[in-house]
A and B are shown apart, each in its own frame.
Chain A
Amino acid sequence: MDMMSAIGALFSPLPVFFMALGTFLGITVGAIPGLTGAMLISLTLPLTFSMTPMHALVMLIGMYVGAISGGLISATLLRMPGTPSSIMTTLDGYPMARGGQPARALGFGISASFFGGCLAWIFLVALSRPLSELATKFGPFEIFSLVLMAIVLIASVSEGSLLRGIISGLLGMLVAIPGVDPAGGSLRLTFGFQDLTGGFGLLPVLIGVFAVGQIISDVADIDRKGELLAVKGKGMFLGLNDWIRNMGNLVRSSLIGTWIGILPGVGANIASIIAYTTTKNLSKTPERFGKGAEEGIIASESANNASVAGALIPLIAMGIPGSVIDAILLGAMTIHAVTPGALLFSNNPDLVVAIMGSALVTNFMMFGMMLFGAVYVAKLTLVPRARLLPIILLFCLLGSYAVTNSMYDVWVMLGFGVIGFCMERCKVPLGPFVIGLVLAPIAEPGLRSGLMITGGDILPLFTRPISGLFMAICIGMVIWQTRAEFKRRRKP
């Protein structure tokens, strides 16, 4: 299939419908505090079984773009970030809205999200192919060290300490072990349970830790409510002057977001925080930040949306997720028998076009839907959670059953829901857990094949240039983060 026919296929009615549906659902779920994009995508995955891989992927990408953007609505009007990546938007969006400019605050956020998504998309198109070709030079040690680097990176930037992050990543890997040994075919860690022969299904575990864990968390403080600010007056559409005045900030924050997105495992939350902090540090009027500064809204929103396309780069080029949602997308690719990496470009160029194209098209859809519909979506944030959460829990039960028509998956989902909730309560971040879970199936064979090639010698893991670099980053991050935590603890 050539490029033109692949683009034509993307713009046929069904894919356009799925992109629009995904973007709309993403915005809606992203806007409702307590519901996240990861929750939506993991719950939707079982429903995509009957779809073609293209339809499934474009819809999930629409959800991804929509969920990251939708969070700004409640962050601005409710002072409750709809998604964690909008936390920094709350700091300036809400004060600006409260100060009588809610439409303008939303306008800055929506426009910055759109700009960030578009700029990062250029990098997605330009870098994915070369990176996938570079990845073909990776041997088993490089793959193993890349996975280690992804886990250490996300562990070091996750909430809580590095120690908890690494424990979480290793636990994720451990959860992926039960079942048949990929090399020898013998059964491992099944503890005599017949059902464990196939291991823990990826989807029930994801639905459990992200959706059920979040539901339990939300139920624990069900009475939390916000006061929705009414959007009055004009100002949602930015003028040329607004664009020109903020162009430097838009470009800088989008580049930060793209770069953070490319780093394995890190994602939109960190992108938003780093871009906000950088903009504040570079600003001539840093005292305005936190009191309704437009630069703050722009930095946070352009960076978190740029990280979406940025995080897709390592995903499609190497099969390494750039964020937690990308880890779920990787699961979706596996379920639909799509192998990311160089083979994707040669075997399924139509899917590459679909993934890249949908990242841009859904960004335009998000822009239109948010500009004209944010006010209405905002009202949905007031739907009582007491009525919403039972329905979502029912979907979790049904979704995990639908994976293999087996009640075993429902029990796994419920079990991991409780585990996910307990992990959060013990400040053990879920991000590294999911990255470890998704990447363990390539990490272990990588290490074992590497050692088989070298006759049991582990030294090449550190001496081969690329794997040595990855290991150096790992060790450097651990030392740097440990020092920072040690210093922080010593402060009175």
Chain B
Amino acid sequence: MRDRILGCILIVLCGAVYWATLDLPPPTYEPLGPAAFPRMLAVLIGVLAVPLILKPERYERDAGTDDVKPTPWMPVWLILGAVVFAIVMQSRMVSFAVTATVFLIYATAILTRFDRRGWLPTLIISPIIGFGLEYIFTSIFIIDLP
């Protein structure tokens, strides 16, 4: 199933790329022009995606080992946290140091499954990293952080 979805996504992507190349100007002083290379790549990827749909490979279930169970929800929450972090950074409403501190506390809490034993070090380390990075980037690397 995974291969079929991948193949379909690739074909849609290639269709979009091919469609976008139709608007490009025709070649003037050279045989190929700006559209030919991306079009060629799109067609090749599209053709190679067909076997993925027709002959998909069988995947083993990510069942984990005896003592390790996969945690599929954790990456989702982590990436959601990163997206919120990026939105807050883009809005420039809160300083980087504060946003980074909150993000670190949130991400560590998620990954430690809100384990109370780790709260104290997290609450100490996160602001040190957040404010420390802001200082290093703005004062040493001279990069304007939001």
Contact = CB atoms under 8 A, between A and B. Distances in A.
A189 interface: yes
B123 interface: no
Contacts of B44: 170
B117 to A, nearest CB: 11
B52 A414 contact: no
A387 interface: yes
A195 interface: no
Interface string B26-66: 00111111110110011011001101100001010010110
A224 B34 CA distance: 49
Contacts of A394: 100, 103-104, 107, 129, 133
A313 interface: no
B133 A174 contact: no
Contacts of B24: 181, 186, 188
Interface in A412-445: 414, 417-418, 421, 425-428, 444
Given A216-B79, A221-B70, A448-B30, A391 B111 contact: no
Given A389-B107, A414-B83, A414-B86, A222 B71 contact: yes
A390 B72 contact: no
Contacts of B133: 394, 398
A414 B82 contact: yes
B56 to A, nearest CB: 10
A220 B86 contact: no
Interface in B97-127: 100, 103-104, 107-108, 111-112, 118, 121-122, 125
Given A426-B3, A448-B37, A386 B108 contact: yes
A451 B31 CA distance: 7
Interface residues of B, number: 69
B78 A393 contact: yes
Contacts, number: 164
A426 B8 CA distance: 13
Contact of B21 (A189, A215, A219): A189
B58 to A, nearest CB: 11
A411 B90 CA distance: 10
Interface stretch (A257-265, A317-325, A338-346, A402-410): A402-410
Contacts of B38: 174, 177, 188-189
A2 interface: no
A166 interface: yes
Interface in A193-251: 215-216, 219-224
A200 to B, nearest CB: 14
B102 to A, nearest CB: 11
A197 B28 CA distance: 22
Nearest to B96: A398
Contacts of A448: 30-32, 37
A448 B29 CA distance: 11
Nearest to B107: A390
Contact of B34 (A188, A407, A410): A188
A50 B70 CA distance: 41
Contacts of A414: 79, 82-83, 86
Contacts of B3: 426
Given A216-B75, A220-B70, A402-B143, A407 B86 contact: yes
Given A170-B45, A174-B45, A163 B86 contact: no
A410 to B, nearest CB: 5
B30 A389 contact: no
B93 interface: no
A221 B111 contact: no
B71 A221 contact: yes
Contacts of A393: 78, 82, 107
Given A220-B70, A398-B137, A181 B34 contact: yes
26 contacts: A167-B48, A170-B44, A174-B41, A174-B45, A181-B24, A186-B24, A186-B25, A188-B34, A219-B74, A220-B75, A222-B111, A224-B68, A386-B111, A387-B121, A389-B107, A393-B107, A394-B133, A398-B137, A401-B145, A402-B143, A405-B144, A407-B86, A426-B2, A426-B6, A447-B32, A448-B30
Interface of B: 2-3, 6, 10, 16-17, 20-21, 24-25, 28-35, 37-38, 41-42, 44-45, 48-49, 51-52, 57, 59, 62, 64-65, 67-72, 74-75, 78-79, 82-83, 85-86, 89-90, 100, 103-104, 107-108, 111-112, 118, 121-122, 125, 129, 133, 137, 141-146
Given A181-B34, A215-B78, A407-B86, 17 more contacts: A181-B24, A184-B25, A186-B34, A188-B21, A188-B24, A189-B17, A189-B38, A216-B79, A219-B71, A220-B70, A220-B71, A224-B65, A387-B122, A390-B104, A390-B111, A425-B2, A427-B57
When A and B form their complex, which 6 residue pairs have the shortest distance between CB atoms, in order from nearest? A390-B107, A456-B31, A386-B111, A181-B34, A216-B75, A407-B90
